[in-house]
């Protein structure tokens, strides 16, 4: 069994769930895909705005990679304009009006996703004055953005939690996360009132932490990070929550092959050719998308997967093969062994997204390019443009232009790396 599979099957939960949902997903795949309309559109320019939860470009990288790999025929642009320490009034990068004009509106986005709140409560018990300042400040942000850019699609995110699951409550009366939940309730009401998209980035992570804490305290602490800033596994939960709010489809592809009849019984988001069936079954498959790049080798991420439905919600790459003659088969893709399955598993269906495949490795490469592109973009903004805002050294413009070209190069490489590729599948009796 390959490394990607070992970690995901620590309890067998994910494999069982994936098989359990296969029938419904396979039968309804075409209908579900047609009904699930992803909120992002071709040509969208998306800006993430927030504080030190958003600034490190972790959940935002996951979201971007999902969009690029799941919709490789579309073109999106993403920008992280978050600044650690920010509140609804602004912060070290300037007042809120300066920040929004310089770091958001100047880029003419079509989508803005906002998460603020962790700093607005100042780590204190509920204070009506601070709460009212947060509410009025948030309303000002929405008004300024929508007045300046009519037609702008805004997503407001209920603030991610302060960890009081793996750590003691900060104080009595619900703790600091209780304050953030209250702030998030306002964000939800504001979003509903203004017709905005609302994403809850608090409750899903708290739920995962509760389940993870019951299984492994040390790994649960890694998910929670330092309590304020989640670790990478926690950011995966945040990304999944935002993608759900954007109606992200779960299905990568779905293929059903009738080996006895040597025929393709059904496909969704995939093209099958050169099907042969004797003792071994072989075919060429080109999926329309790539699986979500989840690093199952990271123990904290594996625990998040075990304690959530992230795989079923975002990462279904389904294969079903019926009419097989032999009890067990080795699945190879492009000549590389993936896993040995028994006939019953293949007859029920397996989720290839949880295995180490050429497709998952391709997606991981796209994610690496996403991270590199965002490092260049963020460095250009913060280390050159903002740092030298009031200075005009001779080579400043040339440096900015060169970094723009470098980012465009990485963006092109990212999109090229996400394009579907044909793969040869083979099921050989064992």
> Where is the domain boundary, 245, 262, 285?
245
The CA-atom distances, in angstroms, between 80 and each of 86, 110, 111, 228, 381 are 14, 14, 12, 19, 10
Residue bearing tokens 């994610």: 367
Q: What is the pTM of this model?
A: 0.92
Residue bearing tokens 């060169």: 402
DSSP line for 157-214: EEPPPP--SSS--SSTTTHHHHHHHHHHHHHHHHHHHHT-EEEE-SHHHHHHHHHHHH
Domain that includes residue 128, residue range:
39-245
Q: What are the b/e assignments for 24-52, b being 16+ CB within 10 Å?
A: ebbeebeebbeeeeebbeeebebbbbbbb
Cα–Cα distance, 414 to 406 (Å, whole number): 12
Q: What pLDDT, on a 0 to 100 scale, did the predictor assign at position 36?
A: 58
Q: What pLDDT, on a 0 to 100 scale, did the predictor assign at position 282?
A: 98
Judge if 131 and 253 occupy the same domain: no
Judge if 45 and 185 occupy the same domain: yes
Cα–Cα distance, 51 to 363 (Å, whole number): 28
Q: Which residues of the chain register pLDDT less than 70?
A: 1-36
Six-digit token string for 397: 């413009």
> Where is the domain boundary, 194, 224, 245?
245
Q: What pLDDT, on a 0 to 100 scale, did the predictor assign at position 9?
A: 42
Element (H, E) at 251: strand 251-258
Judge if 108 and 202 occupy the same domain: yes
Judge if 370 and 281 occupy the same domain: yes
The CA-atom distances, in angstroms, between 58 and each of 237, 239, 297, 308 are 11, 8, 17, 19
Q: Largest Cα–Cα distance of the chain, in whole Å?
A: 74
Judge if 222 and 94 occupy the same domain: yes
For helices 396-417 and 358-379, the axis angle rounded to 10 degrees is 170
Judge if 288 and 307 occupy the same domain: yes
Judge if 233 and 265 occupy the same domain: no
- Per the rule left: phi > 0, alpha: psi between -120 and 50, beta: everything else, 267 is beta
Judge if 104 and 193 occupy the same domain: yes
Cα–Cα distance, 247 to 198 (Å, whole number): 12
pLDDT tens column, 289-315: 999 999 999 999 999 999 999 999 999
> Where is the domain boundary, 195, 213, 245?
245
Cα–Cα distance, 47 to 78 (Å, whole number): 6
User: Which CATH number do you get for residue 137?
Assistant: 3.40.50.1110
Judge if 224 and 328 occupy the same domain: no
Judge if 279 and 214 occupy the same domain: no
Q: What are the b/e assignments for 146-184, b being 16+ CB within 10 Å?
A: beebeebbbbbbbbbbbbbbbeeebeeebbbbbbbbebb
Question: How many separate domains does the chain show?
Answer: 2
Judge if 299 and 352 occupy the same domain: yes
Q: What pLDDT, on a 0 to 100 scale, did the predictor assign at position 392?
A: 87
Judge if 93 and 163 occupy the same domain: yes
Six-digit token string for 318: 């389904």
Q: What pLDDT, on a 0 to 100 scale, did the predictor assign at position 106?
A: 96
Percentages of the chain per state (helix, strand, coil), in multiples of 5: 45, 20, 35
Q: What pLDDT, on a 0 to 100 scale, did the predictor assign at position 8?
A: 42
Q: What are the b/e assignments for 282-292, b being 16+ CB within 10 Å?
A: ebebebbbbbb
């Amino acid at each position: 069994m390959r490394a990607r599979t070992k970690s995901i099957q620590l309890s067998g939960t994910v494999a069982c769930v994936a098989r359990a949902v296969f029938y419904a997903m396979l039968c309804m795949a075409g209908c579900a895909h047609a009904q699930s309309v992803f909120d992002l559109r071709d040509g969208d320019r998306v800006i993430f705005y927030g504080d030190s939860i958003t600034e490190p470009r972790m959940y935002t990288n996951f979201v971007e990679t999902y969009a690029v790999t799941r919709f490789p025929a579309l073109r999106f642009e993403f920008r992280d304009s978050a600044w650690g320490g920010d509140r609804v009034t602004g912060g070290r990068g300037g007042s809120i009006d300066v920040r929004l004009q310089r770091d958001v509106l100047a880029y003419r986005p079509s989508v803005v996703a906002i998460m603020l709140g962790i700093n607005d409560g100042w780590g204190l018990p509920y204070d009506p004055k601070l709460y009212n300042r947060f509410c009025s400040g948030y309303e000002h942000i929405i008004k300024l953005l929508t007045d300046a850019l009519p037609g702008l699609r805004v997503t407001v995110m209920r603030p991610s939690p302060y960890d009081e699951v793996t750590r003691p409550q900060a104080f009595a009366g619900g703790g600091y996360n209780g304050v953030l939940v209250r702030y998030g309730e306002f964000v939800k009401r504001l979003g509903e009132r203004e017709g905005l998209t609302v994403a809850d980035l608090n409750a899903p992570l708290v739920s995962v932490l509760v389940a993870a804490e019951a299984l492994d305290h040390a790994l649960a602490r890694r998910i929670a990070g330092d309590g304020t800033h989640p670790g990478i596994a926690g950011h995966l939960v945040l990304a999944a929550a935002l993608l759900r709010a954007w109606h992200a489809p779960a299905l990568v592809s779905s293929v059903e092959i009738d080996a006895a009849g040597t025929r393709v019984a059904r496909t969704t988001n995939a093209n099958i050719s050169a099907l042969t069936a004797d003792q071994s079954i072989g075919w060429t498959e080109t999926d329309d998308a790539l699986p979500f790049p989840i690093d199952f080798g990271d123990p904290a991420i594996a625990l998040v997967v075990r304690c959530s439905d992230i795989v079923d919600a975002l990462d279904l790459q389904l294969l079903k093969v019926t009419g097989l003659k032999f009890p067990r088969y080795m699945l190879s893709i492009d000549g590389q062994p993936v896993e040995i399955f028994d006939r019953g598993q293949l007859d029920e269906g397996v989720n290839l997204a949880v295995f180490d495949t050429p497709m998952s490795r391709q997606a991981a490469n796209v994610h690496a390019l996403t991270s590199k592109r965002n490092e260049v973009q963020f460095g250009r903004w913060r280390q050159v443009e903002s740092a030298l805002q009031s200075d005009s050294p001779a080579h400043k413009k040339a440096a900015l232009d060169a970094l723009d070209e470098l980012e465009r190069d990485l963006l092109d490489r990212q999109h090229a790396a996400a394009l579907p590729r044909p793969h040869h599948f083979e099921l050989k009796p064992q």
